[in-house]
Amino acid sequence: MEAQLETLSRLVGEHLQAKGWRLASAESCTGGWVAEVVTATAGSSAWFDCGFITYSNDAKCALLGVSPMTLARYGAVSEQTTAAMARGTLERSEADLALSISGVAGPTGGSPEKPVGTVCFGWVRTGEAAQTATCHFDGDREAVRRQAVIFALEELLRRYR
């Protein structure tokens, strides 16, 4: 694993262990990359519970409890959906903190409202309201996905100090 991702994973692990928290993830466009990054860190079983790869809308509904109405109204790439994904992940895991990612990594699939590179995120901790964000990343499919993984983990550290 490249040095930046390795360092970020180590920092997330140290932070979560210091808090006594476990993490779970729900990923769409990143296809499990967050889970891969964190589980590449030795000892991550102490602070990472599980990851859901919910690429299709049906999987988001069936595995995470995202409402079909939310998907119909806002779309899979929306803060409303990533908030629901994060809440569903927390409810269906032993984690204390969950993050979620859904986006348009490209090279196709974008629209004028949600162009390629649009990625939405959600984070939620037990007993708290979900937090969300939307970013617009540049580059090819791999670059968009990589930037999404980095942003999700860096924001976790920033938001849950």
Domain borders along the chain are 21-159
Query: 21-159 has which CATH code?
Result: 3.90.950.20
Convert the pLDDT of each residue in 9-55 to its tens digit.
999 999 999 999 999 999 999 999 999 999 999 999 999 999 999 99
Nearest to 31 by CA among 119, 101, 123, 114: 101
* pTM of the predicted protein model: 0.97
153's tokens: 């983990």
Q: Sign of dihedral through CA atoms 58, 22, 80, 147?
A: negative
pLDDT at residue 1 in the model: 78
Q: Are 100 and 78 in contact (CB under 8 A)?
A: no
Cα–Cα dist 24/91, whole Å = 10
Q: Sign of dihedral through CA atoms 100, 151, 106, 32?
A: negative
Convert the pLDDT of each residue in 73-87 to its tens digit.
999 999 999 999 999
